[in-house]
């Protein structure tokens, strides 16, 4: 028994029939539209048929450019072949659709088949596999023969990489025979046969190169993640979502709406309740927190919940970050107006604990961009070539989830000056850096991918990484001054109950040369002392209740430690320590001054 799909008068007919059997669809076809199906593939022993509407071009959203290309390459040759004959050129034989899973490759192929009214023969690559010698080649031959008999027709091979792998990288003779047979069939398609072969894959580089030359799969069309313009009708908060993800999001929003009515008794029987059910923006916002883009599930991608209010001080740095990262996302028309490409990257350097990572998260939250954080050592592996592949994979994920901020923490661990790596006999460090430079050059303005690096050893970073066009904005994150320390204390304590007798101004004055992390430690330690005292009071009260239950009941319950007091901060300051020495501070300041002198004219330049 075999399963077939075909279109007659733009209506899908799916059926499971036995080999070489004549099936007369009297309810759907005229006597002249009987088809002879012959295929040895055993799918099921049952026999049935059904009629299901297929999607058209209007049902394929967010892919206007790709749909227009495919219409030129498939629709025109099948509907108006005389145009190509008049021009003296041969129409394309094959089109290869590639891209991440769920982006709509199969959907487009079905839409083309419906709009053209062509015979549609769908081959699922993994289903062709067989344990019998020569069975796969026979199945392919029968598919191509039927397509030519029922021309104009479209042969769609889904997951084509499963039956046409690269012959240089496979050791099985059966796979090599299948690839050779497929090449022969595609070469054997006559230019006037009115048969177009479409393939779909999400592993383009796994396909044999011979299939990708002109005369076979003439065109390769990337079906990627929809960009911002195509998502305007849906939402601006679905960066990195493909078509299948958006469908899942809509389903989740509908389920969220149903859950709200589940507590009502017999809500399904009450027409008033049913008529009042509708999906709101709140349902979509709730669903967005529960769903993740399928293209990004292998990588930890988040939109941080850190705002500018959580970061004390650094007003100049915040302004520079807004101009570099936030403005290109929120005001792209301004950059188009002045024909200006935004900066690709920023390097934060300075003492540890001054808020470099926090700044990167805050700017990602402010412009609602995805945030991918990578620790430099995480990219390095012991296997040859794996580290470079990790770098490529990270940048691919960032492009798919654009707008995205790619944050490299401890950048000095993978971007040291080339040739100076001690003990790196295989040159792995240099190869990783070269790959990083290549990927940075491949990030264009349209991708809206911003790279932020952070290091506390800027002197060892390779100079090629710091040239204009890569990490061209160098931002020094210094230790906070007194005004900044005051803002840091306020930011850290704004959600905590603090006694009015605590003078934060005095705390800021006595923490000179303390980093933001050191100040956070002081606040956490004071909070810990308040919690400790509170727990001790609770335990003491429980013990008194055991001994004097009547007396304690009359006194009532009172919160004896309702807030963090000055005594808690005094105790915390006894253990406060600086994490950055004076020598380190002078070193960072000297580097920043040298960099500024080498990169600018200062106040000497005038028109």
Please determine, for residue 103, whether its predicted confidence score (pLDDT) is greater than 70.
Answer: yes
Cα separation, 298 vs 306, whole angstroms? 23
What is the average per-residue pLDDT within 129-134?
A: 72
Report the candidate in 258, 164, 146 with the shortest Cα–Cα distance to residue 210. 164
Cα separation, 89 vs 100, whole angstroms? 33
pTM of whole model > 0.75? Answer: no
Residues 337 and 436 in one domain: yes
Residues 489 and 461 in one domain: no
First CA to last CA distance, the chain: 84
pLDDT (0 to 100) of residue 77 = 77
Assess if residue 413 is contained within a domain. yes
Cβ atoms of 477 and 317 closer than 8 Å: yes
Assess if residue 604 is contained within a domain. no
Report the candidate in 235, 216, 140 with the shortest Cα–Cα distance to residue 178. 140
Question: What is the CATH number for 258?
Answer: 1.10.8.60
Residues 457 and 494 in one domain: no
pLDDT (0 to 100) of residue 190 = 64
Mean of the per-residue pLDDT values of the chain: 75
Residues 169 and 106 in one domain: yes
Q: In the listed set 458, 476, 494, which residue is the last one of a domain according to the structure?
A: 476
Residues 497 and 448 in one domain: no
Residues 496 and 457 in one domain: no
Residues 469 and 522 in one domain: no
What is the average per-residue pLDDT within 431-445?
A: 80
Assign 84 a pLDDT band (cuts: 50, 70, 90).
confident
Residues 391 and 308 in one domain: yes
Q: In the listed set 274, 292, 310, which residue is the last one of a domain according to the structure?
A: 292
Where b means 16+ CB within 10 Å and e means fewer, 308-340 reads: bebbbbbeebbeebeebbbebbeebeeeeeeee
By residue range, what is the domain housing residue 65?
54-222
Cβ atoms of 163 and 128 closer than 8 Å: yes
Domain tally for the chain?
A: 4
Residues 341 and 434 in one domain: yes
Assess if residue 75 is contained within a domain. yes
Cα separation, 217 vs 208, whole angstroms? 11
Please determine, for residue 552, whether its predicted confidence score (pLDDT) is greater than 60.
Answer: no
- Find the helix packing angle between 135-149 and 173-188, rounded to 10°: 20
Residues 212 and 86 in one domain: yes
Residues 339 and 464 in one domain: yes
Question: What is the CATH number for 453?
Answer: 3.40.50.300
Assess if residue 605 is contained within a domain. no
Assess if residue 44 is contained within a domain. no
Q: Which residue has the tokens 């749909």?
A: 67
pLDDT > 90 fraction of the chain, expressed in percent and rounded = 6
Assess if residue 35 is contained within a domain. no
pLDDT (0 to 100) of residue 506 = 92
Q: Alpha carbon 555 to chain centroid distance?
A: 59
Residues 106 and 193 in one domain: yes
Assess if residue 334 is contained within a domain. yes
**Mind listing the pLDDT tens digit for each residue in 220-274?**
888 877 655 444 545 566 766 777 777 777 787 777 777 776 665 455 566 666 6
Please determine, for residue 31, whether its predicted confidence score (pLDDT) is greater than 50.
Answer: no
- What DSSP string describes 18-45? -TTEEE--TTT--GGG-EEE-------S
Q: Count of alpha carbons within 13 Å of 442, Cβ hemisphere only?
A: 13
The 3-state secondary structure of 295-324, one letter per residue: HHCCCCEECCCCCHHHCCCCHHHHHHHHHH
Assess if residue 349 is contained within a domain. yes
């Amino acid at each position: 028994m075999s399963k077939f799909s075909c279109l007659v008068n733009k209506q899908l007919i799916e059926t499971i029939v036995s080999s070489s059997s004549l099936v007369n669809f009297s309810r759907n076809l005229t006597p002249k539209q009987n088809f002879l199906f012959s295929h040895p593939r055993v799918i099921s022993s049952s026999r049935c048929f059904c009629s299901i509407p297929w999607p058209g071009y209007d049902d394929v959203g967010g892919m206007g450019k790709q749909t227009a290309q495919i219409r030129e390459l498939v629709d025109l040759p099948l509907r108006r072949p005389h145009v190509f004959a008049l021009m003296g050129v041969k129409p394309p034989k094959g089109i290869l659709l590639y891209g991440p899973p769920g982006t709509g490759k199969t959907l487009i192929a079905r839409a083309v088949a419906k709009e053209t009214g062509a015979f549609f023969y769908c081959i699922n690559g993994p289903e062709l596999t067989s344990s019998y010698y020569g069975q796969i080649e026979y199945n392919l031959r029968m598919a191509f023969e039927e397509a030519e008999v029922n021309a104009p027709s479209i042969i769609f091979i889904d997951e084509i990489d499963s039956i046409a792998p690269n012959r240089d990288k496979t050791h099985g003779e059966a796979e090599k025979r299948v690839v050779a047979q497929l090449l022969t069939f595609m070469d054997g398609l006559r230019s006037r046969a009115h048969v177009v072969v479409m393939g779909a894959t999400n592993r383009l580089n796994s396909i044999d190169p011979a299939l990708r030359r002109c005369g076979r799969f003439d065109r390769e069309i990337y079906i990627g993640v929809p960009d911002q313009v195509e998502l305007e009708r849906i939402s601006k908060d679905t960066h990195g979502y493909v078509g299948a993800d958006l469908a899942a999001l809509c389903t989740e929003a509908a389920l969220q709406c149903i859950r709200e009515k589940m507590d009502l008794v017999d809500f399904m029987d009450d027409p008033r309740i049913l008529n009042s059910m509708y999906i709101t923006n709140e349902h979509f916002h709730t669903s967005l927190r529960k769903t993740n883009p399928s293209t990004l599930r292998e990588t930890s991608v988040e939109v941080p919940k850190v705002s500018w209010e959580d970061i004390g001080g650094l007003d100049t740095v915040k302004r520079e970050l807004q101009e570099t990262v936030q403005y290109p996302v929120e005001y792209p028309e301004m950059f188009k107006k002045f024909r200006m490409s935004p900066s690709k990257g920023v390097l934060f350097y300075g003492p540890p604990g001054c808020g470099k990572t926090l700044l990167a998260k805050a700017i990602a939250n402010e412009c609602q961009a995805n945030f991918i954080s990578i620790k430099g050592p995480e990219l390095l592996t012991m296997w040859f070539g794996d580290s470079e592949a990790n770098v490529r994979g990270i940048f691919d994920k960032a492009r798919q989830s654009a707008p995205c901020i790619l944050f490299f923490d401890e950048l000095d661990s993978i971007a040291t000056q080339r040739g100076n790596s001690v003990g790196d006999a295989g040159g792995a460090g240099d190869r990783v850096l070269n790959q990083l430079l290549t990927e940075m050059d491949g990030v264009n303005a349209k991708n809206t991918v911003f790279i932020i690096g952070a290091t506390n050893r800027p002197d060892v970073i390779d100079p090629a990484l710091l040239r204009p066009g890569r990490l061209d904005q160098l931002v020094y994150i210094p230790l906070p001054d007194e005004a900044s320390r005051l803002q840091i204390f306020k930011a850290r304590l704004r959600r905590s109950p603090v006694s009015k007798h605590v003078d934060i101004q005095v705390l800021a004055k006595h923490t000179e040369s303390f980093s933001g992390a050191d100040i956070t430690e002081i606040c956490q330690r004071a909070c810990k002392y308040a919690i400790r005292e509170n727990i001790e009071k609770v335990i003491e009260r429980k013990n008194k209740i055991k001994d004097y239950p009547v007396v304690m009941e009359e006194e009532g319950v009172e919160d004896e430690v309702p807030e963090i007091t000055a005594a808690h901060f005094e105790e915390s300051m006894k253990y406060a320590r600086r994490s950055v020495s004076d020598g380190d501070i002078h070193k960072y300041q000297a580097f920043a001054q040298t960099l500024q002198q080498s990169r600018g004219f200062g106040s000497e330049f005038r028109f």
